[in-house]
């Protein structure tokens, strides 16, 4: 019987479908591969010649080649040209360490720098290029040289034996002798040379400048959008940069980067707690959760680590595993219906499965901005999807919502925003106030509250702040020094500027809450009924003023440190 007379042959149908997909993908992806890699066989693929000359097996080969092409395009080549096929493990590990070190020092995602290098150098011989070179596009520098404040004696004692004793004096305030902001690669390198530093070694240059007396230097991370614009990327290069990051192949090829993916905030949303877990309902629900019944504390631990709501985390897991009874959970330790290239993923333990699921939810909520159960459902279980012929996906949102209610209700409020540097300000806001209010956005989701933290450059680079050091840092980004960093506290801040009523609050004003003591916590008002600060439970985060915890502890203390105009 001829192939045309076998319309119901599932194997033929599958290959025909894959072949059609392959032809379209090869034309689009193969062209890019041919341009990037200049290999004859890929040029043939790009033109469709292999498919045309092999009608029977072309579809299968096409799919295989698509995978190979994607890996070739999107996996960075960290090997040196002369040692491409030699043992370069040590050199590669050193290169990866350089990317990670400079990323954590400057507070930028090292994956951004890798992807930037891949585009600039067309994915060839990354070992042959300086890591610092592309890093310049991702940060700006603020520098001050100052004369410290000093006590000036105006009158000495005339009493015999006490002639050197000062009895009247005044404090001469600190005086800024030189300052500057450097935003582009050329400006920063010129500044480094002026300071007698080698521009090919960013970290050493910064360290040496900071070691000088009466000098302050801070760096501010820039968003990828700004970096690409500074690098004069055209539309195709920008698209390629985004494709690299979205593919996840860098992390797959080099797991050292994968360990950092949860540390870096995406550009989708921020979440802040609005109530505590209802322990009675939480424990009652877990008591009926089969294999998951003892994992309540693990859900809370993983949710805190990845900045997501533990209730939504548990509710999705309960739904996907039928309250801890699914075969996928029992045989594969898969707590969330997590899928890989070979179907349901297999984990060595339930805890490992929960780790992977929490990381996935972090990416969907924080990175992609899917801030509600309904939005997550559109990604997890889209109604009308081809893989849901019986229409079961329509039950996903109502079931997860019901389970979340049984667990005591969501404990976090999540809101989407355009990107990590954007905020809609209410009223007439000065440039300084805008900088103060938005500079901390880069730390949301990738910072840690540390009491006494934020008072060294290493702490700042890693986002380790307490509430007062964060306020000090944010004001410094606008060129406003709130006094010696090492002695900054809520007690020093609550006496600065002038006190104003809450009804007159403006962007950039600071607020105090009576937590463990009077004025025990401080944050910065960013407009629209929200403040940003370093909270003990979340690190740097945005919180609504009507949050029940903070609202109950607010006594009306607001101070304005900026000029009224």
Q: Which CATH class is domain 268-416?
A: mainly alpha
> Is residue 190 scored above 60 in pLDDT?
yes
Crossing angle, helix 235-247 and helix 58-74, to 10 degrees? Answer: 100
When computed from its CA atoms, the radius of gyration of the chain, rounded to whole angstroms, is 28
Instruction: Name, in order, each residue with C-beta under 8 angstroms of 408's C-beta and a sequence gap of 6 or more.
Output: 277, 278, 279, 280, 281, 282, 311
Query: Dihedral, CA atoms, 475, 477, 483, 484, nearest 10 degrees?
Result: 130
pLDDT at residue 102 in the model? 80
Outline where 447-500 has alpha helix (H).
Answer: 457-461, 467-477, 490-493
- The H or E element spanning position 33 is helix 31-37
Q: Where are the alpha helices (H) located in 287-414, listed in sequence order? A: 296-306, 310-320, 327-332, 350-362, 373-380, 396-406
Is the Cβ–Cβ distance between 463 and 539 less than 8 Å?
yes
CATH top class, domain 431-560: alpha beta
Domain boundaries, the chain: 3-74, 89-145+180-260, 268-416, 431-560
Residue position matching structure tokens 């105090």: 512
Rounded CA-CA distance 267/366 in Å is 7
Predicted TM-score of the model (pTM)? 0.41
Percent of the chain at pLDDT exceeding 90: 27
Q: Mind listing the pLDDT tens digit for each residue in 97-135?
A: 888 778 766 767 788 888 898 888 876 667 778 888 889
Taking the C-alpha atoms of residue 230 and residue 233, their distance in angstroms, rounded to an integer, is 8
Q: What is the per-residue pLDDT for 94? A: 83
What is the C-alpha separation between 319 and 402, in angstroms, rounded?
10
The pLDDT tens digits of the residues spanning 271-315 come to 666 788 999 999 999 999 999 999 999 999 888 877 789 999 999
Which two tokens mark 468? Answer: 């007062």
Q: Which of 318-332, 415-429, 451-465, 522-536 has the lowest mean pLDDT?
A: 415-429
Spatial separation of the C-alpha atoms in residues 542 and 274, rounded to whole Å: 11
Alpha-carbon gap, residue 194 to 132, rounded angstroms: 18
Between 459 and 348, whose confidence is greater?
348
pLDDT value, residue 98: 84
Does position 512 have pLDDT exceeding 90, yes or no?
A: yes
Task: Identify which of 129-133, 138-142, 480-484 has the greatest average pLDDT.
Answer: 480-484
Averaged over 546-563, what is the pLDDT? 88
Pairwise pLDDT comparison (427 vs 358), residue with the higher score: 358
DSSP symbols for 493-560: HTTSSEEE-GGG--TT-EEEE-SSSTT-EEEEEEETTEEEEEETTTEEEEEETT-HHHHHT----EEE
Find tokens 């959760």 and name the residue: 289
Distance CA 443, CA 446 (A): 5
308: Cβ–Cβ under 8 A, 6 or more apart, which residues?
Answer: 271, 358, 361, 362, 365, 366, 412
Across the chain, what does the average pLDDT equal? 77
**Which pLDDT score is estimated for 77?**
60
């Amino acid at each position: 019987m001829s192939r045309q007379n076998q319309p119901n042959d599932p194997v033929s149908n599958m290959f025909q479908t894959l072949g059609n997909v392959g032809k379209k993908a090869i034309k689009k992806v193969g062209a890019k591969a041919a341009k990037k890699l200049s290999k004859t066989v890929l040029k043939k693929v790009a033109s469709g010649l292999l498919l045309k000359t092999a009608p029977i097996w072309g579809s299968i080969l096409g799919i295989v080649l698509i995978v190979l092409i994607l890996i070739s395009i999107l996996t960075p080549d960290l090997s040196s040209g002369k040692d491409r096929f030699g043992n370069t493990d040590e050199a590669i590990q050193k290169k990866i360490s350089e990317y990670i070190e400079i990323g954590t020092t400057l507070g930028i995602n090292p994956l951004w720098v890798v992807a930037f290098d891949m585009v600039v150098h067309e994915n060839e011989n990354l070992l042959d290029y300086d890591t610092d070179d592309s890093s310049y596009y991702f940060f700006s520098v603020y520098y001050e040289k100052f004369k410290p404040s000093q006590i000036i004696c105006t009158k000495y004692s005339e009493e015999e034996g006490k002639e050197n004793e000062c009895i009247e004096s005044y404090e001469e305030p600190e005086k800024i002798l030189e300052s500057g902001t450097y935003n582009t690669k050329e400006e920063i390198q010129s500044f480094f040379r002026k300071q007698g530093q080698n521009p090919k070694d960013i970290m050493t240059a910064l360290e040496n400048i900071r070691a000088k007396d009466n000098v302050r230097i801070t760096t501010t991370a820039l968003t990828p959008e700004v970096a690409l614009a500074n690098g004069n990327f055209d539309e195709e290069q920008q698209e390629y940069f985004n494709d690299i990051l979205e593919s996840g192949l860098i992390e797959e090829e080099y797991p050292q980067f994968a360990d950092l993916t949860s540390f870096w905030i995406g550009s989708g949303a921020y979440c802040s707690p609005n109530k505590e877990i209802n322990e009675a309902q939480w424990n009652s629900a877990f008591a009926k959760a089969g294999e998951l019944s003892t994992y309540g504390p693990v859900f809370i631990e993983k949710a805190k680590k990845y900045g997501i709501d533990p209730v939504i985390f548990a509710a999705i897991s309960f739904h996907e595993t039928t309250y801890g009874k699914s075969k996928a959970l029992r045989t594969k330790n898969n707590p969330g219906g997590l899928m890989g290239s070979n179907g349901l993923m297999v984990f060595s333990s339930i805890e490992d499965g929960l780790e992977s699921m929490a990381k996935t939810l972090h990416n969907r909520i924080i990175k992609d901005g899917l801030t509600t159960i309904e939005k997550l459902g559109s990604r997890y279980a889209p109604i009308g999807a081809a893989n849901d012929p019986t229409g079961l996906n329509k039950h996903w949102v109502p079931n997860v919502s019901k389970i979340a209610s049984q667990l005591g209700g969501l404990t976090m409020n999540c809101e989407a925003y355009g990107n990590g540097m954007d905020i809609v300000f209410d009223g007439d806001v000065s440039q300084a106030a805008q900088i103060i209010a938005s500079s901390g956005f880069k730390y949301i989701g990738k910072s840690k509250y540390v009491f006494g933290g934020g008072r060294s450059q290493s702490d700042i680079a890693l986002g380790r702040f307490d509430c007062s050091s964060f306020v000090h840092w944010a004001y410094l980004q606008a060129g406003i020094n709130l006094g010696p960093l090492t002695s900054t506290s809520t007690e020093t801040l609550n006496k600065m500027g002038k006190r104003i009523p809450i009804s007159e609050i403006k962007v950039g004003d600071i607020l105090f809450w009576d937590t463990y003591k009077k004025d025990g916590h401080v944050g910065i008002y960013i407009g629209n009924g929200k403040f940003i600060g370093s909270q003990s439970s979340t690190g740097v985060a945005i919180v609504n003023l009507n949050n029940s915890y903070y609202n109950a502890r607010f006594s009306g203390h607001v101070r304005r440190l900026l000029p009224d105009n």
